[in-house]
Structure 1
Amino acid sequence: MGQQDVWRLLSRFSSLRRANVVLQHLRMSVHTDAADVLLERRGCAGVITLNRPKFLNALSLDMIRQIYPQLKTWEQDPETYLIIIKGAGGKAFCAGGDIKAISEAKKTGQSMTQVFFREEYTLNNAIASCQKPYVALIDGITMGGGVGLSVHGRFRVATERSLFAMPETGIGLFPDVGGGYFLPRLEGRLGYFLALTGFRLKGRDVHRAGIATHFVDSEKLHKLEEELLALKSPSAEDVAGVLESYQAESKMDQDKSILFEEHMDKINSCFSANTVEQIIENLRQDGSPFALEQLKVINKMSPTSLKITLRQLMEGSSKTLQEVLTMEYRLTQACMEGHDFHEGVRAVLIDKDQSPKWKPAKLQEVTDEDLNSYFKSLGSRDLKF
């Protein structure tokens, strides 16, 4: 239908209000044909389904803007007893925020880079403070923004297909969405290791690390969800009871936890330094195949990102989640103005040559002064709760 046809159609309506209603409906039907996020009331629960399987359910600004008000509505609704969030397509819960779109928006001078992180972090905080039990089914890839949608909730259910990582130092960013809060609170120095290397935790290790609260076989997830939806006015304890009964039945990969059994001592000793340079020296001196592998990985990362990340976690270890999100918002805005984020997105997601040219290229070239500028207050533009 051409524009003239639309106008002809609209001119037939005597009332402008009627025309507006029609336009609204057209817009809604276009929108609901392929909604990126499905929001449904089912049984006793509100169910959020991230619905961009082709893009591994990457989180867009539009999705954030649909989830947040619905979460708030369900939280207030006396008929909604719990909230479930899951990903469509079987491959991913959510592989991260739509960072390609953010980088492109920055180049065209749009305010997307301010708005996206502000609204994403506001949603992360709403999940953390949600008064209703919040159950994230983190089946499949769960990275970056997907971690922010799950890790702050009361219940996180991993499966043998779960793959967790915060790989941001490899694209000139840092593990945000509250990474500065939950990572330093993991066992020993595990969070520092995950943050700096982007190491991928799989299956049971996601639960063992404390990122997930429960572990269930993926083939039982549908049954688990149906059982949760069928509960009558459940309390958080009732929800926990169901999750625990499914976890008790799970025999899959029970004895698989190589990372924790073999490498935790090395992680604790190598990553307990206060500077990235010292961590690198510790890995070099350790000299084991595991340590040398991590050394190789760290040497590929953005030097600026590595330094920001270590300080982010050290400071975040004694801050509240809201204080951490305020700090991380400052960091995102500085990264958007810097070189490495856009170069990282180019190398990893656009040209895919996997060889970013970082500036500065060496750790010793990232000065304390540079670092301090990333953590500076934004004054009236700061993120507030």
Structure 2
Amino acid sequence: MGQREMWRLMSRFNAFKRTNTILHHLRMSKHTDAAEEVLLEKKGCTGVITLNRPKFLNALTLNMIRQIYPQLKKWEQDPETFLIIIKGAGGKAFCAGGDIRVISEAEKAKQKIAPVFFREEYMLNNAVGSCQKPYVALIHGITMGGSKIDRDKSFILEEHMDKINSCFSANTVEEIIENLQQDGSSFALEQLKVINKMSPTSLKITLRQLMEGSSKTLQEVLTMEYRLSQACMRGHDFHEGVRAVLIDKDQSPKWKPADLKEVTEEDLNNHFKSLGSSDLKF
């Protein structure tokens, strides 16, 4: 047997072993009795990260981030670690993203954790994105900031793609709204209902973020998002959204400003501008 054929067979064998390991951990991610917010375990040649806050949909805390980051870097350099898996405990959620309620409440209490939290979270995101070992996220259940692509099912928005492309191919939120109004279909009107509930500032930030981010590297995107996170922490709408959805749960946020036309280009530029020496650095 030639060396190339041997290498090919070994690659297939290793891929088979990785698949079996992943399936094994997926079956075991339903429940854990451990009290720690995150579990970091070495099982054979696999490093396993378990997000363990099922009552809070495994939302990330600063403490969890500070445990995961150094362990991820350690496993990345460990010659006896061939695979890294991250999963969520409880069976209901993989991860609901950062625990924004805790962040908002801390900010209101004049505890400035937002700069530290987002800085370290984005440093962890970059470490995941640049990890030199196979890194597998078992995205099962509620997941904020990601998606479970089932290749056996058609894309849920497939039937609407023509309308999405025609209505949302615009350079301003106002143009998108106009396109949806002119379309007039039940799908378009449903999207208008959703958009009209959203923060006008966040709508304009999001569109610009999508447009600028399409040509950026991961590190450039994380730097942009860090700037946005800090600007939003200083503003009104982030905290009002947390109040309306997670604290009072009245689902009736009062946005400031309340109208798209009141969100100026200067407002937008202030969200995206450099933070100078306080910028995110890798």
TM-score by length of 1: 0.63
1:47 maps to a residue whose letter is V
Alignment map for 1:366-377 (pairs within 5 Å): 366-377=263-274
1:307 maps to a residue whose letter is K
Which residue number corresponds to residue 84 of structure 1? Answer: 85
Cα shift at 1:310:
0.5
Is 1:107 the equivalent of 2:4?
no
Alignment map for 1:272-283 (pairs within 5 Å): 272-283=169-180
Q: Percent identity?
A: 82
Deviations 1:217-238 (A, max 9, x none): xxxxxxxxxxxxxxxxxxxxxx
Which residue number corresponds to residue 51 of structure 1? Answer: 52
Cα shift at 1:259:
1.5
Is 1:336 the equivalent of 2:233?
yes
Deviations 1:298-333 (A, max 9, x none): 110000000011111111111111111111111111
> For the residues of structure 2 that align with 1:104 and 1:265, how far apart are their CA atoms?
42
Cα shift at 1:33:
5.8
1:136 maps to a residue whose letter is A
Instruction: Name the Cα RMSD after superposition.
Output: 1.4
Cα shift at 1:111:
2.1
> For the residues of structure 2 that align with 1:48 and 1:98, how far apart are their CA atoms?
18
Is 1:309 the equivalent of 2:212?
no
> In the superposition, relative to structure 1, how do residues 301 and 76 fare at CA in structure 2: closer, same or farther (>3 Å)?
same
> For the residues of structure 1 that align with 2:34 and 2:173, how far apart are their CA atoms?
49
Which stretch of the first structure deviates more once superposed, 369-378 or 32-41? Answer: 32-41
> In the superposition, relative to structure 1, how do residues 301 and 134 fare at CA in structure 2: closer, same or farther (>3 Å)?
same
Which residue number corresponds to residue 259 of structure 1? Answer: 157
> SS state of the match for residue 157, structure 2?
helix
Is 1:96 the equivalent of 2:97?
yes
> For the residues of structure 2 that align with 1:44 and 1:272, how far apart are their CA atoms?
47
Alignment map for 1:1-385 (pairs within 5 Å): 34-144=35-145, 147=146, 164=147, 206-207=148-149, 215=150, 254-260=152-158, 262-385=159-282
1:259 maps to a residue whose letter is L
Which residue number corresponds to residue 28 of structure 1? Answer: none
Cα shift at 1:43:
1.7
TM-score by length of 2: 0.86
Deviations 1:153-211 (A, max 9, x none): xxxxxxxxxxx4xxxxxxxxxxxxxxxxxxxxxxxxxxxxxxxxxxxxxxxxx42xxxx
Deviations 1:267-310 (A, max 9, x none): 11111100000011111111111111011001100000000111
Runs of 4+ in 1 over 3 A off after TM superposition: 254-258
How many residue pairs were aligned?
250
> SS state of the match for residue 40, structure 1?
strand
> For the residues of structure 2 that align with 1:380 and 1:324, how far apart are their CA atoms?
18
> For the residues of structure 2 that align with 1:299 and 1:33, how far apart are their CA atoms?
43
> In the superposition, relative to structure 1, how do residues 33 and 45 fare at CA in structure 2: closer, same or farther (>3 Å)?
closer
> In the superposition, relative to structure 1, how do residues 376 and 257 fare at CA in structure 2: closer, same or farther (>3 Å)?
closer
> SS state of the match for residue 109, structure 1?
coil
Deviations 1:307-363 (A, max 9, x none): 011111111111111111111111111100000001111101000000000000000
Cα shift at 1:96:
1.8
Cα shift at 1:256:
4.6
2:99 maps to a residue whose letter is D
Unmatched runs of 5 consecutive residues or more in structure 1: 1-31, 148-163, 165-205, 208-214, 216-246, 248-253
